[in-house]
């Protein structure tokens, strides 16, 4: 499945969160990650994040799209070359 | 779900922030999600340090290295965790027992020829070629030795390659198969595609307990992972050839995608990238598996083939080569 993650984290912890997400997904924009991932990996990722964040202050949103073909992305301005595995 | 990463640019790969980090010579930086990476194919000039290699071993990531011309030259494989003495003994036993070896060797040829015929049937006026290939398949049944079997396979392959000129629409003309070095664009495409298949099959074999050096159709003494050559036979016509037909018939390749001279022809970087893009999406294509009842990717089909072979070796279930049913 395809997932888009956005987050709003206290500056003290934002680096830790970014590091974890970087291992699972590709970075799109400031505070936004996206990419394809399995259900198991996503759960693992969420568990790791839970240890880092403070639930009262931080928030992370996961937008899950079951089928990658069902989403359309429109871009204004620069599109960063992301999900490419040929580099 | 995990993907293969293909790196063409030159630069350094490092472990950084517990993930893979690439810094190219022209200053670009990129992080790759380590959890989603299965193997890395290096085409450019890349520097690696032991820290990175240790990290890849820990994450079970296989690294394949290709030379300047895009030929497969070697792999870095993490310490094998899946070793099985029993399976190794069985593998050798099946190699030594002539009947058993013939059965497996014949199965690989059967799978290969089936997919060749399947490819040809998609196009018009290829009937005579299909018939010739089925004749070779009949001959193959009665072969007494591996050499004879290889001969049948070789003749069938010649027939198959002759049919290419009917299938391919454009100015590219295919005379005969030539390797080392390939001399025309089609040969270059076949060579490049085959070397990709070899390494992909090898990565899949490494995820199972099979020993990649003991093979049945090819002689196992040739200082290479010949089991991956055996299994590749089935997948070459299934995966590589349709990509070649697509790239050429849709005019996706241009002259500048080939580096041509009097006695050689290689794909340039742009050509390889185009090929890889198709290869990658082909590998990720899923089909509904009849037995498993769920969708599996082409890449996983290769792994399933290894599992089938293991079952055969352990006398659990008789090996039948993959025959595309879709």
Q: Are residues B159 and B214 in the same domain?
A: yes
DSSP helix/strand/coil, A32: strand
Partner-chain contact A41 B34, CB within 8 Å:
no
DSSP code of residue B2: -
Cα gap B136→A58, rounded to integer Å = 68
Q: Are residues B11 and B124 in the same domain?
A: no
B291 assigned to some structural domain: yes
Cα gap B220→B218, rounded to integer Å = 6
Residue B256 tokens, joined? 């500048």
Is-above-0.90 flag for pTM?
Answer: no
Residue A70 pLDDT > 70, yes or no?
yes
Q: Taking a C-beta distance cutoff of 8 angstroms, is the pair A33, A25 a contact?
A: yes
B82 assigned to some structural domain: no
Q: Determine the average pLDDT of the residues in B212-240.
A: 77
Residue B60 is part of which domain span? 3-76
Q: Are residues B48 and B169 in the same domain?
A: no
CATH code, A2-70: 3.30.70.240
What's the confidence (pLDDT) of residue B172? 66
Residue of B nearest to A33 (CA): B33
Which residues of chain A are at the B interface, by a Cβ-Cβ cutoff of 8 Å? 19, 22-27, 35-38, 41, 44-45, 85-87
Cα gap B60→B167, rounded to integer Å = 41
Domain boundary among B19, B41, B76: B76
B320 assigned to some structural domain: no
Domain boundary among B43, B76, B109: B76
Q: List, in sequence order, every beta strand (DSSP E) within chain B.
A: 3-7, 11-16, 19-24, 29-32, 37-42, 46-48, 62-66, 72-76, 258-260, 265-267, 286-288, 295-297
DSSP helix/strand/coil, B51: helix
Query: Smallest Cβ distance to A22: which of B1, B8, B31?
Result: B31
Q: Are residues B96 and B169 in the same domain?
A: yes
Q: pLDDT tens across B11-26, in order?
A: 888 888 888 888 888 8
The CATH number for B163's domain is 1.20.120.920
How far off is chain A from B43, nearest CA to CA, in Å? Answer: 10
What's the confidence (pLDDT) of residue A47? 92
Q: pLDDT tens across A9-64, in order?
A: 888 888 889 889 888 888 888 889 888 888 898 999 999 999 988 888 889 999 99
Q: Are residues B190 and B69 in the same domain?
A: no
Residue of B nearest to A17 (CA): B17
How far off is chain B from A2, nearest CA to CA, in Å? Answer: 11
What's the confidence (pLDDT) of residue B178? 67
Mutation for B interface: A34, A45, A66, A86, most B CBs within 10 A: A86
> Measured between beta carbons, which residues in chain B are less than 8 angstroms from residue A87?
5-9, 22, 30
Residue B56 pLDDT > 70, yes or no?
yes
DSSP code of residue A86: B
Q: Are residues B127 and B257 in the same domain?
A: yes
Q: pLDDT tens across B145-157, in order?
A: 777 778 888 888 8
Give the max Cα distance, chain B: 61
* Length of chain A counted residue by residue: 87
What's the CA angle centered on A29, arms B29 and B58, to 5 degrees? 50
B172 assigned to some structural domain: yes
The CATH number for B59's domain is 3.100.10.20
B321 assigned to some structural domain: no
Least confident of B83-92, B168-177, B224-233: B168-177
């Amino acid at each position: 499945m395809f997932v888009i993650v956005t987050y709003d984290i206290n500056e003290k912890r934002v680096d830790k969160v970014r590091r974890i997400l970087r291992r699972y997904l590709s970075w799109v924009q400031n505070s936004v990650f996206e990419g394809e991932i399995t259900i198991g990996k996503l759960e693992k990722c969420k568990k790791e994040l839970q240890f880092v964040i403070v639930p009262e202050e931080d928030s992370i949103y996961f937008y899950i799209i079951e089928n990658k073909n069902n989403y359309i992305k429109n871009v204004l301005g620069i599109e960063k070359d992301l999900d490419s595995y040929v580099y | 779900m995990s993907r293969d990463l293909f790196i063409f640019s030159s630069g350094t790969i490092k472990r950084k922030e517990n993930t893979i980090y690439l810094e190219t010579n022209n200053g670009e930086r990129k992080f790759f999600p380590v959890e989603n990476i299965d193997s890395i194919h290096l085409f450019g000039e890349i520097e690696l340090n032991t820290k990175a290699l240790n990290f890849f071993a820990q994450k079970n990531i296989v690294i394949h290295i290709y030379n300047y011309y895009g030929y497969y030259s070697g792999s870095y494989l993490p310490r094998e965790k899946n070793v099985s003495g029993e399976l190794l003994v069985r593998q050798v036993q099946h190699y030594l027992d002539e009947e058993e070896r013939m059965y497996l060797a014949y199965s690989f040829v059967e799978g290969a020829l089936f997919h060749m015929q399947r490819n040809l049937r998609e196009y018009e006026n290829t009937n005579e070629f299909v018939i010739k290939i089925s004749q070779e398949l009949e001959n193959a049944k009665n072969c007494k030795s591996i050499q004879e079997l290889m001969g049948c396979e070789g003749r069938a392959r010649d027939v198959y390659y002759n049919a290419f000129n009917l299938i391919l629409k454009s100015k590219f003309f295919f005379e005969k198969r030539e390797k080392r070095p390939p001399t025309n664009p089609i040969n270059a495409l076949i060579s490049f595609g085959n070397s990709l298949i070899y390494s992909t099959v090898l990565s899949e074999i490494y995820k199972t307990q099979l020993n990649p050096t003991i093979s049945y159709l090819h002689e196992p003494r040739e200082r290479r992972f010949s089991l991956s050559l055996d299994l590749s036979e089935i997948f070459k016509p299934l995966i590589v050839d349709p990509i070649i037909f697509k790239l050429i018939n849709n005019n996706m390749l241009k002259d500048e995608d080939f580096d041509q001279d009097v006695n050689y022809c290689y794909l340039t970087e742009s050509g390889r990238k185009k090929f890889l893009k198709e290869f990658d999406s082909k590998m990720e294509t899923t089909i509904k598996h009849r037995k498993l009842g769920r969708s599996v990717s082409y890449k996983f089909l290769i792994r399933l083939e290894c599992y089938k072979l293991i079952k055969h070796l352990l006398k659990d279930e008789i090996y039948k080569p993959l025959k595309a049913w879709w």
